[in-house]
Amino acid sequence: MPRPLLAAGYFGHHENHMTSKQFLLRVLPPFVVDILRGANRMLGRSSEGLSFAPDGWQTGLPPGAGHESAALIASDVREWQSVWAPFLEQLETRPSLPIPVGEAPCQHKDDQITWMNYAHALAQASRDRKALRILDYGGGLGAYHAVGKALAPAVRLEYHCKESAEMVRAGRRLNPEAIWHTDDSCLDHPYDLIVFGSVLQYIQDWPALLRRAAAAARGFVYVAETPVVMQGASYVAIQRLRGAAMLSQQISKAELLAAASEAGLVPAREFPVSAHQHVADAPEQPVYYSCLFRRITGAA
């Protein structure tokens, strides 16, 4: 699943944009502001970014604009071919090769933090183990697999990835070492580590998915890079990214922790939150939250 790109340049631009916006809100009549806000939501003036969706999950999207968008998949394929395929090829002869980052140059720092957090999750899940069975739910073309091979070279990784049908077709071609799944029957089998990397926000009934994952987890569930709000209730936004449009929920952290507890999961390690892209007209701005959960022994 895609994560919005974060860039230092974007935040600098956003601060200037907000100053102009606040000025206009002060000088324009309220009815003009309402018209402009409505037009912005309906027409999607910005080709990238997120905006509050007052109709929630009932918000209509153009056909073919979601996760199966050809533009989104093509972007992932380009990144795999330019970044991850060469990395895996070099990893065969250079086990200490630095872990690469994505195509966006300003995302480097965030990527490195992501992989450091994942390294901790791998270390906990693989303790005293020579093999590890991983399910990467919504894992794109398998970057977590590539990084896992570099971070845990002494551990045999059986990497499973659940994705959309179109992404799986590309994955089977580009990353054939992975075991690919197109539906939730993958959760009928046990795993040492289940990863939700920037995924839960796209699932309307994410608590049910979390419960099912907890039942399938022999050890840990890693919820990574999930947009949460710290004070208010969850809300839905429209996300436009790389030619795709999709609905994305900014989840209440309290709701997430309560759902995890009900599923039989307890936090083993919370990681520091990181900045999230601005959500226009939102009741509260989210942050990215990552937590490694451990399944309680004997939990149903």
Range of the domain at 30: 8-295
Is the pLDDT at 17 greater than 90? The verdict is no
Span 134-157, mean pLDDT? 95
* Domains held by the chain: number: 1
Is the pLDDT at 1 greater than 80? The verdict is no
In a domain, 300, yes or no: no
- What pLDDT, on a 0 to 100 scale, did the predictor assign at position 174? 97
In a domain, 3, yes or no: no
- What pLDDT, on a 0 to 100 scale, did the predictor assign at position 94? 85
pLDDT band at 145 (very low <50, low <70, confident <90, very high): very high
Q: Report the mean per-residue pLDDT for the chain.
A: 85
In a domain, 215, yes or no: yes
In a domain, 142, yes or no: yes
Is the pLDDT at 185 greater than 90? The verdict is yes
In a domain, 1, yes or no: no
Is the pLDDT at 83 greater than 80? The verdict is yes
Residues 220-267 pLDDT 10s: 999 999 999 999 999 999 998 877 889 999 999 999 999 999 999 999
In a domain, 2, yes or no: no
Is the pLDDT at 62 greater than 50? The verdict is yes
- What pLDDT, on a 0 to 100 scale, did the predictor assign at position 58? 95
Record the pTM: 0.82
What percentage of the chain reaches a pLDDT higher than 70? 79
In a domain, 43, yes or no: yes
- What pLDDT, on a 0 to 100 scale, did the predictor assign at position 31? 55
DSSP 126-190: TTT-SEEEEEEET-TTTHHHHHHHHH-TTSEEEEEEE--HHHHHHHHHH-TTSEEESSGGGGGS-
- What pLDDT, on a 0 to 100 scale, did the predictor assign at position 44? 41
Q: What is the CATH number of the domain that holds 166?
A: 3.40.50.150
Length of the chain: 300
In a domain, 79, yes or no: yes
Q: Which CB contacts under 8 angstroms, 24+ apart, belong to 252-260? A: 252/228, 253/228, 253/229, 253/289, 255/207, 256/200, 256/223, 256/226, 256/228, 256/289, 259/206, 259/207, 259/210, 259/211, 260/210, 260/214, 260/221, 260/223, 260/291, 260/293
